[in-house]
């Protein structure tokens, strides 16, 4: 192979020298014409260009020298350490990511989102995906809906791809997150049915990116090899000589006849050489393997078998290359047989493409590797010991490499590569020393700065393409490649290898430190839940039950489902491609909840309408955020910050006692339900707070937007786009440009979570309808204060007008909504329909009590800010100046007391025969409301 490499080197060197001469001539020409005063020449631009031309000359000289060094042997790959030095800060600080930033990642909490929420995030990050999918697959309709069909393949297209097609078999498509490769951030599509692979790779990538600067990759080229088997060769040594003598002619023939298009693109046949293969070379058994007596033995039919094999190396450019390589093998075979006086055997490519290798590597300081209570140095040593095991024992190496291929195959499948070819080449490469070994390598080294680091590396043949084959047929591949930024073949090979190394690092670390089964089975529990027949809304709950029992199997899952008499089914969907646009804005909320040992959180991505994304956070460290962000937060949410939400959820927890279950529940399952309930309540509360503030800011624009939200049905929420919602609405200021997209995103999240997690169709409908009622009431209450409350033409009495106003205005307290969500904890034998009348009565009572107490305490602020207020409405209906309100508070409460007493008595009669409601808890709740506002 060396002579061919020399030829390539000489050719490139010649081109470099020729380019050097052309550049020097250009510089001389420019310097000659500069003294002329020709107005047609842009002299400043030319002067500015000269230093860059000189720099290009210097680079060309270095390229020529590097090629000369490379031509002395095989194609070489720069080691990761060299890559690290050459790229410098790019690798350490990729794409503007700052370690000092307190902002959660766009992908933070991605695994906790519903499927449709994840799809909406992709729609924001890759807004051109919808168009790309629609152009590739005409059967998909609706731009937003097409994002839910990444990977969709119509039966018509499938039938064109293979023979005897009877259907399409789907695979889950996930995203490998947190990957930093050669200084660039990547979100990597992965198609795989095995749980824990995507999560493990993402977790490893996050550690490697934050502690080690990410992965560094290199490749040896795009060279594939064709094999021509020669049979009955009379004189093998003379045949080898003849191939050498006719080398240039054969290469020319191959490029002219078999791959002219590839040759024009800069590729084509570049070398031809011979190998002699015999049975004797592979007859001896390896000393590590003890064969079974009855196993299938693979031997040539005769111990005298001997072949001459001609190899043709071909640069396949951006293609995987199988077709063109096979064409060259078949096209050259007759001429090769004639030259060597042989008969022709097989003419086919080899998937053992040793000149198309990819390597990925990383370094992490051992001090950063501490995990699960084990020190970083100990973790590093355990990983190295695990590597040593795989380096010397083929039985361990096979399993080690299977884990590597979990990651590699998943990306290859998702991006339309021939994963079978990659697998075959990889396992052969693992045997290149004569014994099957680990493909990955780990070692602890001391850097020049004295820091001990764990260095991980992975190298293997990687035949991938960015053009041709199924990539042009399957619409899903265009989308998954677009998510990666439409990489070249060499870039893609580096990405795939980096994912394989990430998966291997995660697996080896887990096995060496804690054992792999606990984490793997926790994820595998989801499979058992689905197989047992759990509806999607109950999968999390069933998993929690199995984990709590430490019995993860099908029988345990069925026992849980049978106890609740439940059954169901489920289907889901897809993503899209990248384009240079403003990144999505982020809204992050973190709130402690009584009864949970951790905070609940929301991480909402929403569309950015300006040139820069906005970041809003409500969390314990919010005070440290820049004042500009806090100003925007106040404009959107008022005084409802972290402490206010914390206090609010303390009160929400007390409301839950109204529906206290009458039977002991499994604490693990209760905790899962409680987290979902509080998160859903948080979303609803945020919708109401944000809507209220936005209506205050734009009392005409925002009601029109809310009317459009309410006009769309629940089934349409996932298909409409924000742009379509506001196409005829003027967004006049920053508050609306941020607030309306955020409100739209929260509205969608509420619907997605109710749809996916609430089992009862009746309760799903009630929750969504109640939220719609709350928004209608909010808009109506503002309309009321914009009218003349003292209009003499209004025939209603003050008392009747007040009751009508309260039915609308009190919904802002949303107690009915909170109770409906709390009813998710009702015992399985109790129907939500039976509890509904009581929930509405209690909710209305609490809403009235809370609204009145709030409005009395805040009526002076309401006067100044022109807010809806029950006390002010009551005063105006009696033609009393609200500024004199302090003197009428007692009269207002005296007016209300009979109303509250009547409602409590009615409720007591209603619930006397049921065990669903705790009346004592309801009365305590009313007292607590009164006490809260007495303190204000």
**Catalytic positions:** 194, 402, 418, 520
Nearest to 743, CA basis, from 610, 887, 606: 606
- Spatial contact of 462 and 357, defined as CB atoms under 8 Å apart: yes
Using DSSP, state whether 347 is helix, strand or coil: strand
Q: What are residue 275's phi and psi, to 5 degrees?
A: -135, 150
C-alpha span between 58 and 244 (Å, rounded): 37
Distance, in Å, from the CA atom of 716 to the CA atom of 253, rounded to the nearest integer, reads 61
| CB atoms near residue 672 (< 10 Å) | 19
User: Quick check: 536 and 764 in contact, CB under 8 A?
Assistant: no
CA torsion, ordered 170, 174, 179, 181, to nearest 10 deg = 20
* DSSP conformational letter for 257: I
> Are 421 and 463 within 8 A, CB to CB?
yes
Contact between residue 677 and residue 653 where contact means Cβ atoms under 8 Å apart: no
Contact by Cβ (8 Å): 504, 203:
no
**What is each CA distance from 849 to 61, 858, 933, in whole angstroms?**
83, 14, 11
Query: Of 688, 719, 718, which is closest to residue 706 (Cα–Cα)?
Result: 688
Closest by Cα among 495, 362, 513, 380 to 440: 362
How far are the Cα atoms of 117, 167, 216, 258, 340 from residue 329, in angstroms, in the given order?
A: 50, 35, 35, 9, 15
Residue 128: partners with Cβ closer than 8 Å, 6 or more residues away: 482, 576, 577, 578, 579
595 vs 657: CA distance, rounded Å = 12
Q: Are 536 and 568 in contact (CB under 8 A)?
A: yes
CA atoms of 153 and 169, how far apart (whole Å): 9
Q: Where are the alpha helices (DSSP H) in 99-138?
A: 115-125, 129-136
Q: Rounded to whole angstroms, how far apart are CA atoms 716 and 711?
A: 10
585 in helix, strand or coil? strand
Q: Do 537 and 758 touch, CB atoms closer than 8 A?
A: yes
Distance between start and end Cα atoms, the chain: 86
SS3 860: helix
Could you give the C-alpha distances from 277 to 304, 307, 355, 597, in angstroms and in order? 11, 5, 20, 66
CA distance 496 to 477: 15
Closest CA to 854 of 868, 865, 875: 868
Contact (CB, 8 A) for 602 and 588 = yes
Beta bridge partners of 274: 310
Q: Which CA distances in Å does 550 have to 128, 442, 525, 532, 671?
A: 45, 34, 11, 17, 16
Give how far Cα 472 sits from Cα of 190, 319, 416, 536, Å.
19, 12, 9, 34
Instruction: Count CB-CB contacts under 10 A for residue 434.
Output: 9
Using only C-alpha atoms, the chain has a radius of gyration, in whole angstroms, of: 35
615-618 and 184-191 as β-strands: parallel, antiparallel, unpaired? Answer: unpaired
DSSP code at position 583: P
């Amino acid at each position: 192979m060396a002579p061919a490499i020399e030829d390539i080197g000489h050719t490139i060197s010649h081109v470099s020298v020729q380019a050097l001469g052309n550049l020097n001539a250009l510089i001389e020409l420019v310097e000659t014409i500069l003294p002329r005063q020709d107005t047609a020449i842009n002299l400043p631009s030319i002067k500015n260009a000269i230093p860059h031309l000189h720099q290009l000359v210097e680079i060309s000289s270095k390229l020529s020298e590097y090629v000369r060094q490379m031509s002395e042997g095989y194609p070489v790959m720069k080691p990761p350490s060299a890559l690290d030095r050459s790229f410098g800060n790019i690798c350490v600080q990729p794409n503007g990511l700052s370690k000092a930033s307190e902002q959660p990642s766009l992908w933070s909490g991605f695994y906790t989102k519903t499927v449709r929420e994840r799809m909406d995030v992709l729609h924001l990050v890759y807004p051109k995906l919808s168009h790309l999918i629609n152009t590739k697959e005409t059967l998909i309709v609706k731009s937003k809906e097409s994002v839910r069909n990444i990977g969709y393949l119509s039966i018509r297209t499938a039938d064109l791809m293979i023979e005897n097609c009877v259907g399409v078999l789907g695979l889950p498509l996930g995203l490998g997150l947190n990957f930093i490769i050669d200084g660039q951030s990547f979100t990597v599509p992965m198609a795989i049915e095995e749980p824990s692979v995507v999560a493990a790779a993402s977790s490893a990538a996050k550690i490697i990116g934050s502690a080690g600067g990410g992965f560094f990759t290199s490749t040896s080229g795009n060279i594939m090899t064709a094999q021509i088997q020669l049979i009955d060769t009379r004189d093998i040594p003379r045949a080898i000589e003849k191939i050498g003598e006719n080398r240039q002619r054969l290469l020319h023939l191959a490029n002219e006849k078999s791959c002219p298009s590839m040759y024009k693109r800069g590729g084509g046949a570049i070398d031809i050489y011979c190998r002699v293969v015999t049975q004797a070379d592979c007859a001896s058994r390896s000393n590590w393997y003890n064969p079974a007596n009855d196993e299938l033995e693979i031997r040539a039919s005769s111990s005298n078998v001997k072949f001459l094999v001609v190899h043709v190396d071909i640069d396949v450019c951006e293609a995987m290359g199988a077709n063109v390589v096979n064409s060259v093998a078949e096209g050259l075979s007759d001429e090769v047989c004639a030259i060597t006086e042989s008969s022709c055997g097989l003419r086919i490519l080899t998937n053992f493409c040793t000149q198309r290798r990819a390597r990925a590597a990383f370094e992490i300081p051992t001090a950063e590797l501490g995990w699960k209570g084990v020190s970083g140095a100990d973790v590093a040593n355990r990983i190295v010991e695990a590597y040593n095991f795989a380096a010397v024992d083929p039985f361990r190496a096979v399993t080690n490499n299977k884990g590597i291929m979990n990651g590699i195959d998943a990306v290859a499948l998702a991006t339309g590569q021939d994963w079978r070819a990659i697998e075959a080449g990889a396992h052969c490469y693992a045997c290149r020393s004569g014994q099957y070994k680990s493909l990955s390598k780990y070692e602890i080294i001391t850097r020049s700065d004295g820091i001990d680091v764990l260095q991980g590396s992975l190298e293997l043949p990687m035949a991938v393409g960015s053009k041709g084959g199924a990539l042009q047929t399957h619409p899903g591949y265009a989308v998954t490649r677009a998510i990666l930024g439409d990489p070249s073949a060499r870039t893609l090979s580096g990405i795939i290898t980096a994912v394989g190394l990430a998966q291997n690092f995660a697996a080896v670390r887990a096995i060496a430190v804690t054992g792999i089964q606990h984490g793997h089975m926790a994820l595998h529990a989801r499979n058992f839940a689905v197989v047992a027949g759990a509806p999607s809304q109950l999968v999390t709950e069933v998993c929690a039950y199995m984990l709590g029992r430490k019995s993860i199997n099908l029988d345990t899952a069925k026992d849980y489902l049978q106890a609740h008499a439940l059954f169901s089914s489920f289907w889901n969907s897809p993503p899209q491609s990248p384009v240079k646009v403003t990144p999505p804005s982020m809204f992050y909320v973190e709130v402690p909840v009584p009864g949970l040992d951790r905070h609940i959180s929301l991480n909402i991505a929403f569309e950015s309408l300006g040139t820069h994304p906005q970041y809003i956070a409500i969390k314990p460290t919010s005070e440290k955020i820049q004042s500009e962000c806090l100003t925007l937060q106040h404009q959107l949410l008022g005084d409802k910050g972290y402490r206010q939400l914390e206090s609010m959820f303390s009160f929400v927890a007390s409301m839950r006692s109204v529906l206290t279950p009458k039977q002991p529940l499994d604490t693990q399952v209760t905790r899962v339900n409680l987290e979902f309930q509080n998160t859903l309540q948080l979303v609803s509360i945020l919708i109401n707070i944000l809507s209220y503030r936005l209506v205050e800011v734009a009392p005409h624009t925002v009601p029109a937007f809310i009317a459009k939200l309410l006009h769309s049905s629940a089934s349409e929420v996932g298909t409409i786009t924000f742009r379509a919602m506001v196409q005829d609405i003027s967004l006049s200021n920053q508050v609306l440009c941020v607030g309306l997209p955020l409100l739209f995103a929260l509205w969608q999240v509420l619907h997605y979570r109710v749809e996916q997690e609430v089992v009862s169709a009746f309760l799903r409908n009630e929750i969504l309808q109640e939220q719609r009622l709350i928004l209608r009431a909010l808009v109506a209450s503002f309309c009321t204060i914009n009218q003349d409350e003292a209009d003499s033409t209004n025939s209603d009495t003050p008392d009747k007008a007040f009751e009508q106003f309260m039915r609308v205005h009190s919904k802002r307290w949303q107690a009915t909504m909170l109770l409906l969500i709390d009813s998710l904890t009702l015992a399985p034998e109790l129907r939500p329909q039976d509890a509904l009348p009581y929930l509405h009565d209690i909710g209305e009572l609490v809403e009235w009590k809370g609204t009145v107490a709030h409005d009395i305490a805040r009526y002076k602020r309401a006067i100044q800010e022109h807010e809806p207020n029950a006390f002010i409405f009551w005063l105006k209906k009696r033609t009393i100046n609200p500024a004199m309100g302090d003197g009428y508070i007692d009269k207002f409460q005296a007016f209300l007391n009979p109303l509250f007493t009547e409602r409590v008595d009615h409720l007591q009669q209603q619930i006397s025969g049921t065990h669903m409601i705790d009346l004592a808890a309801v009365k305590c709740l009313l007292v607590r409301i009164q006490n809260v506002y007495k303190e204000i």
